[in-house]
Chain A
Amino acid sequence: MGSYSVPIYYLLTHILENEIVKPREITSNTIELGSKYSPDFVCTPFKYTLGTMIESVEDGANILLQMGGGCRYGYYHELQEKILKDLGYSCTVLNLVSGGKRISYQELKKYPIKIKKRHFLKSLIITKKMVFYMDKMDDYIRMNRCYESEVGSFDKVRKEMLIAFSKVKGLRDLKKTYRKYKKKMTSLPLQIPEKRIRVGLIGELYTLMEPAANEEIEKLLNSYGFEVKRYTNVTYLLFQKKRKVRKYLKNFFVKYRMGADALDNIYHTKELCEEGYDGIIHIKSSFCTPEIGAMPLIEKVAEEHDVPVLFLSMDMHTSKVGFLTRMEAFCDMLEMRKE
């Protein structure tokens, strides 16, 4: 999943004795492979992950890890395992989170997974911290990359940082590395114009976080000179969401949780509007049920505050040109409104 493969790979190599197969990067080939064997109107992440799974199995993996969420995401693994078996591959798909509960140690023991007991907790803490630092850095990049004097300077530092992260030895080492690259990042020259246009990015988590699934929308917006704010990242989903949702339900016109990230997105829309953002882009994979339910309410909130919203629904049929046209039209409109 995007750059998160760095901390995940780090964690797995440090806590497991099994050999780890690094998944290939998502290409058009992956997507084609995944959609070929998927049911027609399943949501897009299913197709992407299935494609990656087939590639990984061909690279020699026989246990595949899958996560679960508050929608049909939690049920992916069973069908994916069946599809892979019907294709003649022998492998198991292991779901780490199902029905909102983490997999128990007893159940994990049934699989041929060997866990290193030494340094287990330490690696876990380092990974958590690494994700936290990455998310913090990405937040900074999204806000400032649009003003870089030299094109590509931010991405270069980020790439270097990820490589350095994958080689850290301990918590102190990680902290030192982070500080070093943070300094490097913040000292990059910026050219800040007078009129700053800020865009909020909300939507379904997979499409938001996987650059291959959203046509690198953040980079695109930054290249137009727009600041981008995005709430959803792994730190938010795993460590902050539970606490924050309780806050969202107080004094808000939505009475109940609406499944997955629907409520979060409606609340974030309100927050973005109140903070004076110029536009909001809602992006999701096709047929994402919880987000479809949230869309009318997002529209309502944005209308009340007179902030334009662009709804994008991505799947493998989305043509790059059509997508670019819509984005350009929306961005032109934002610029005109600013004047």
Chain B
Amino acid sequence: MDKVTVGIPRAIPYYDGGEFWKSFFQQCGINVLFSPPTTKEMVDRGSFLAPDEMCLSMKIYLGHLDYLEGKCDYLLVPRIDRFDDTNQTCTNFLSFYDLAKHYFKTPILNYNMDNQNDLLDAALEIGSSLSIPGIQILKAYEIALEKEKEKKKIRNQKQLELLKEKQKKVLIVSHAYNVHDAFIGSELLKLLKENNITILYSDYFLSEDTNPLASTLSKKLYWKYSKDSIGSIPLCENVDGIVFLSTFPCGLDSLVHELVIRKINKPYLNLVIDNLSSFTGLETRVESFVDLLEQS
């Protein structure tokens, strides 16, 4: 029998768990196909499929799924409701599966995470639908989790070292799926690097550290990824400036970033990206922000 191929889109859920699923499937002897970094075609394709008002990140997610359509045996599409009651997700995460099923014909490998189901349940769900023996699933799960942890630790260590540097430092507060996306974040990162600015990512810190710290800025916040990202602000007190990066029209960031901006007293840049953003406009805004940092 030929090896089964599972397609994983390099968009929203990839940035929290993509590595885990990659090593998990490898341990189980299943091929993994990642979609390439976001291209303009994917954005256009996603925008064509989705309703107009859907957020750009979600459009990109659909674009990636569309790229993988027909190129693999299964698409990995989760449905993530919450990790616990104070760590929920955006409602888009709840509709991944049903939307993907509506738009695409490739069979879907689906796992569900909510109050009752954690990552282990998800791994068991996926494993059993591919009829992998239980012991192998558990073994693969352990190894994959260990590998992911190790990677996160190294990332975190690097960040902490960067914090001690003397250069001008900027913290990017954003969801991982925005700042690391090739379409949304890459221009900003390139511009900052050209200006010799050290970049710290809010999502590269460990969630265990940042998540509890979020309450210093917002007591009643109940979204996991927002908590993780704004929790990095009290952690990085000696950065020179903060960049808030979000996509249009992100429901969570529209409220959370506004609240945080009202509470911090540091230079900040609030960037909202949509699929019509012009590069020159971005350049002007980043340059004036960098000038501001150099004067302070």
Q: Which residue of B lies closest to A40 (CB)?
A: B254
Q: Is A33 an interface residue (CB 8 A)?
A: no
CA distance A262 to B221 in the complex (A): 22
CA distance A71 to B251 in the complex (A): 9
Chain A residues within 8 Å of B259, by CB: 78-79, 82
Chain B residues within 8 Å of A79, by CB: 255, 258-259
- Most chain B CB within 10 A, of A72, A293, A300, is at A293
Chain B residues within 8 Å of A76, by CB: 255
- Asked if B53 and A313 sit within 8 Å, CB to CB, the answer is yes
- Asked if A98 and B102 sit within 8 Å, CB to CB, the answer is no
Q: Is A75 an interface residue (CB 8 A)?
A: yes
Q: Which residue of B lies closest to A266 (CB)?
A: B98
Contacts A42-B254, A256-B112, A257-B94 given; does A287 touch B249 at CB 8 Å: yes
Question: Chain A interface: which of B85-93, B150-158, B182-190, B194-202?
Answer: B85-93
Within 8 A of B (CB), among A285-330: 286-287, 289-290, 292-297, 300, 313
CA distance A282 to B221 in the complex (A): 30
Residue interface mask B50-61, A partner, CB < 8 A = 1? 110111000000
- Asked if B102 and A99 sit within 8 Å, CB to CB, the answer is no
- Asked if A99 and B222 sit within 8 Å, CB to CB, the answer is yes
- Asked if A39 and B258 sit within 8 Å, CB to CB, the answer is yes
A293 CB to nearest chain B CB (Å):
4
Chain B residues within 8 Å of A289, by CB: 55, 90-92, 251
Within 8 A of A (CB), among B48-100: 50-51, 53-55, 79, 81, 85-86, 88, 90-92, 94-95, 97-99
Q: Which residue of A lies closest to B254 (CB)?
A: A42
A49 CB to nearest chain B CB (Å):
13
Q: Which residue of B lies closest to A95 (CB)?
A: B220
B86 CB to nearest chain A CB (Å):
7
Interface size class of B (residues with CB under 8 A): 35 or more
- Asked if B255 and A82 sit within 8 Å, CB to CB, the answer is no
Q: Which residue of B lies closest to A70 (CB)?
A: B91
A294 CB to nearest chain B CB (Å):
7
Q: Is B252 an interface residue (CB 8 A)?
A: yes
Chain A residues within 8 Å of B258, by CB: 39, 42, 79
Chain A residues within 8 Å of B219, by CB: 78
- Asked if B221 and A75 sit within 8 Å, CB to CB, the answer is yes
Interface size class of A (residues with CB under 8 A): 35 or more
- Asked if B255 and A254 sit within 8 Å, CB to CB, the answer is no
Chain A residues within 8 Å of B254, by CB: 39-42, 72, 287
Chain A residues within 8 Å of B98, by CB: 254-256, 258, 297
Q: Is B27 an interface residue (CB 8 A)?
A: no
Chain A residues within 8 Å of B20, by CB: none
CA distance A297 to B96 in the complex (A): 12
- Asked if A71 and B53 sit within 8 Å, CB to CB, the answer is no
Chain A residues within 8 Å of B103, by CB: 296
List 12 interface pairs A-B (beta carbons < 8 Å), by A numbering: A41-B248, A72-B251, A72-B254, A78-B219, A101-B85, A257-B81, A258-B95, A289-B55, A292-B54, A293-B92, A293-B95, A297-B99
Residues of A within 8 A of B (CB): 39-43, 46, 70-72, 74-79, 82-83, 86, 95, 98-101, 254-260, 262, 286-287, 289-290, 292-297, 300, 313
Residues of B within 8 A of A (CB): 50-51, 53-55, 79, 81, 85-86, 88, 90-92, 94-95, 97-99, 101-103, 110, 112, 218-223, 248-249, 251-252, 254-259, 262-263, 272
